[in-house]
Amino acid sequence: MKTTYAYIYTNYFNPFDISKNLLSLGENSDDQGQFQLTAVLQANMIYVVVITTSSRNLMGNFSVQGFGPSYIGFNRILNTPSVVQTVYASKLATNSSTYSLDCSSSSSYYEAIQVNVRRSGVYTFFSKSNIDTYGSIYKDYFNPFNPMENRLLYDDNSCNQRQFGFKIALETGISYILVVTTNDYRELGAFSIFVSGPDNVDLKNISKRLYYNF
């Protein structure tokens, strides 16, 4: 069953920060795969309604009806920007680098990934894996002997199902380091990182280089 979703924004919609200006959202309200939402709107204000689906591969025609005390004018906005997604796949194995994530004496396997953006903006990172992933992002460099140094953000379960996810503003000309590890130091396995933003992102494994530099 095709499921449609709708979001209504005040003034404008930013596809790189979908929570900004969000006024209301509508999901599957009647178990028929169709949305319904209610919002208090003011005259002489611009609102943007965004229609999407429950799956990236769902396409087709749709119609929208609006009801209220007065006429509602709908005008399609053309040439809206699209989010670009970069995918990185790798795995943690017995020959991966190790470090101490916290005060524990046990060492966790990790992979350090250099991140360079081609356009400044807000980027979303999230992982998909069968292992319990933990992600941290650093500015300029990552020191495995002091993992708190230069750390900008970290997360271990925002995306549920034991996966990390976060949103962060990144700038061109600056190197960032994404460190992927696990909550259980014994866990090994494959993982994928999805990065969404205004342009493609260059991702490169630099774990071995870090090992020799520090």
pLDDT in tens, the chain (214 residues): 568 888 999 998 888 778 889 998 887 666 677 888 888 999 889 999 998 887 777 888 888 888 889 888 888 887 777 889 999 999 999 999 998 877 665 788 999 999 999 999 999 999 999 999 999 999 999 999 899 999 999 998 876 688 999 999 999 999 999 999 998 888 999 999 999 999 999 999 998 765 445 5
Could you tell me if 178 and 193 are in contact, meaning their C-beta atoms sit under 8 angstroms apart?
yes
Together in a domain, 104 and 205: yes
Q: Which of 81, 109, 139 corresponds to the end of one domain? A: 81
Could you tell me if 107 and 100 are in contact, meaning their C-beta atoms sit under 8 angstroms apart?
yes
Q: Per the structure block, which two tokens stand in for 53?
A: 């689906």
Together in a domain, 7 and 54: yes
CB count, 10 Å around CB of 83?
Answer: 13
pLDDT of residue 3: 80
Together in a domain, 65 and 132: no
The CA–CA distances, whole Å, from 49 to 8, 26, 71, 144, 167 equal 4, 10, 16, 46, 23
Could you tell me the CATH number of the domain that includes residue 141? 2.60.120.380
Q: Which of 81, 113, 142 corresponds to the end of one domain? A: 81
Together in a domain, 203 and 146: yes
Together in a domain, 194 and 99: yes
Q: Which of 50, 81, 112 corresponds to the end of one domain? A: 81
Together in a domain, 36 and 135: no
For residue 208, what is the enclosing H or E element?
Answer: helix 207-213
Together in a domain, 49 and 16: yes
Together in a domain, 118 and 194: yes
pLDDT of residue 2: 63
Torsion of CA 47, 51, 54, 59, to 10 degrees: -170
Determine the structural domain holding residue 37 and report its residue range: 1-81
Together in a domain, 153 and 74: no
